Amino acid sequence: MGGGASSSSTSTTTNKQQRRPRNPYAGGSCFSLGSLRSALHPFSKGGGQSGSRTVTADYEVSNEELGRGHYGVVFKGRSRATGKQVAIKRINKRSTEKKQMQMIEREVQCMQALNESPHPNIVRMHDLYEDSKFFWLVMEMCGGGELFDAIVARGKFSERESRQVMHAILQSVAHMHERGIVHRDLKPENILIDFSDDGATSSIKMIDFGLARPDSRQQTLMTRPNLTRFKSRVGTPYYIAPEVIRKDYSTSCDEWSCGVIAYILLCGFPPFNGATDADIFKRVKQGEFSFPNPEWKHISREAKHLIAKLLNKDPSKRITAREALQHPWFAGVTPIAQKLDPVEEALAHKQSQLVAVEAVDKVDNNGDTEKEAGLGKSAMQAKAILERVSGQAMGTAWKAWTALHP
């Protein structure tokens, strides 16, 4: 666990290795922090500056280990000023090589960019400290546990639950990509999920930006321009995109990972399996998968259609996260951790009612309205309401969407 930690996940790496096989679905030298401090400004503290504070001056750091990331250990902590719990990543300076330091610097740059425009489903960084032995990254403490463990415990999620979880994940990915950040290691282990007392999903948090990369050329809402091409093969075999294996890829590798996660949520096993990493890579590069029965017998065609769009082997034709959020599968979904205040919620509800009435009138007068309007934002809002009141109208919208997105 890298970019954040769960308050209920306290197992060490050794324990995780014991309970989780490598294939879970199968039957230095000291380096300066100068550039890193510059990247994190104004968060950076410490570094031997006159009058600077240490991490222990501002936070209580316990010995309770929450997890381990690519290059650090995460401990539970508490703010001395507010009493709020935090997750504190400790990185040993003398055992951190130059390449690892570059990864740390990128992680901090990504977290800084995301802090400037926070998202409720993405973990936040609070502070950065340095002393003679360690770097200390103070992160938001997240509740719940890994999505991976929830899948293992349940076997799979219902389609309704999967739709809600994927909506939150894709919102996070769209938010990152629109700020020029690619995660490159999306998987259930890097997503924290929490549940309410009645078993409903109450929180989703994307964590561990240890392999993330910033890109100065940001995407627009619905397009994927010629962003920086990455050449390093990183990620986890089950979730890695074929172009990553070829070492020539862009942000679209994250959407591929989302497709794999959605597939696993709905059936409990990955679309590309194998006894070894080499077997998995071979199947991923082929890009061929299926929806076998009985696991997929009762899964909707909308869900299968979206997964196929996310797992398009051609990254230039792969659906973007923002486009995916407009897919009919998400019509009527209840967002996670996107609460409005009562006044805003009332206004939004009134606006949705007006949009729905207008859309129904247009459908009555012209059966091709959805297609001509291009299923814009207003139409998508209307479909969310129409789904609950008119199965026939929803069927019309689905046909229009698939016609526009073959």
Q: What is the pLDDT of residue 199?
A: 85
φ, ψ of residue 334 to 5 degrees: the values are -95, 115
Pair 24, 116 in one domain:
yes
User: Are both 231 and 352 inside the same structural domain?
Assistant: no
- Strand pairing partners for 65? 75
Higher pLDDT, 27 or 56: 56
Residue 397 has pLDDT above 70, yes or no: no
Strands 125-130 and 134-142, by their bridges, are: antiparallel
287 and 199 inside one domain: yes
Which pLDDT belongs to residue 226? 44
Pairing of strands 201-206, 145-146: unpaired
User: Quick check: 284 pLDDT over 80?
Assistant: yes
Residue recorded with tokens 């070829």: 246
For residues 355-362, average pLDDT: 48
Question: What whole-number distance in Å separates Cα of residue 341 and Cα of residue 347?
Answer: 10
What's the domain count of the chain? Answer: 3
* CA nearest to 208, candidates 5, 372, 65: 5
The CA distances from residue 332 to 63, 338, 381, 388, in Å, are 44, 14, 9, 8
Assess contact for 84 and 92: CB atoms under 8 A: no
Q: How confident is the model at residue 401 (pLDDT cuts 50, 70, 90)?
A: low
Classified as helix, coil or strand, 222 is coil
Q: What is the arithmetic mean of pLDDT over 96-111?
A: 79
Share of the chain above pLDDT 70, in %: 64
Q: Are residues 59 and 26 in the same domain?
A: yes
Residue 336 lies in a domain: no
Residue 318: the pLDDT is 96
Query: Strands 125-130 and 44-46: what pairing?
Result: parallel
> Average model confidence (pLDDT) for the chain?
75
Q: Any idea what the Cα angle at residue 121 is, between residues 119 and 123, rounded to 5°? A: 80
pLDDT of residue 104: 81
- Residue-number span of the structural domain to which 95 is assigned: 5-141
**Alpha-carbon span 356 to 350, nearest angstrom:** 10
- CA distances in angstroms from 254 to 182, 258, 333, 355, 389, listed in the order given: 7, 6, 22, 33, 35
61: domain CATH number is 3.30.200.20
Asked if the structure places residue 367 within a domain, the reply is: yes
The domain spanning residue 233 has which CATH number? Answer: 1.10.510.10
Average pLDDT for 59-85 = 89
Same-domain pairing of 32 and 123: yes
CA dist., res. 177 & res. 223, Å (int): 10
pLDDT tens figures, 199-244: 888 999 998 888 888 865 544 433 444 444 444 444 578 899 999 8
Relative orientation angle of helices 391-404 and 377-389, to the nearest 10 degrees: 150
Alpha carbon distance 6, 148 (integer Å): 13
Do 25 and 118 sit in the same domain of this protein?
A: yes
Q: Are residues 217 and 359 in the same domain?
A: no
- At residue 188, the pLDDT reads 94
> Same domain, yes or no, for 46 and 121?
yes
Domain boundary among 272, 306, 330: 330
20 and 76 share a domain?
Answer: yes
Final residue before a domain boundary, out of 111, 141, 171: 141
The sign of the torsion formed by the CA atoms of 281, 20, 275, 303 equals negative
Active site residues: 185
| Distance from C-alpha of 39 to C-alpha of 43, rounded to nearest angstrom | 9
What are the tens digits of pLDDT across the range 303-354? 999 999 999 999 999 999 999 999 999 998 988 754 433 433 444 455 445 5
Lowest average pLDDT, out of 71-85, 113-127, 225-239, 283-297, goes to 225-239
C-alpha distances out from residue 58 to 7, 47, 321, Å: 20, 15, 38
Q: Which of 84, 80, 101 is nearest to 140 (CA)?
A: 84
Instruction: Write out pLDDT tens, residues 128-182.
Output: 898 888 889 999 998 888 999 999 999 999 999 999 999 999 999 999 999 999 9
At residue 304, the pLDDT reads 98
Q: Rounded to whole angstroms, what are the CA distances from 311 to 85, 116, 221, 263, 328?
A: 38, 31, 20, 10, 17
Judgement on whether residues 126 and 33 belong to the same structural domain of the protein: yes
Is residue 14 over pLDDT 90? no
| Residue where one domain finishes, among candidates 330, 351, 382 | 330
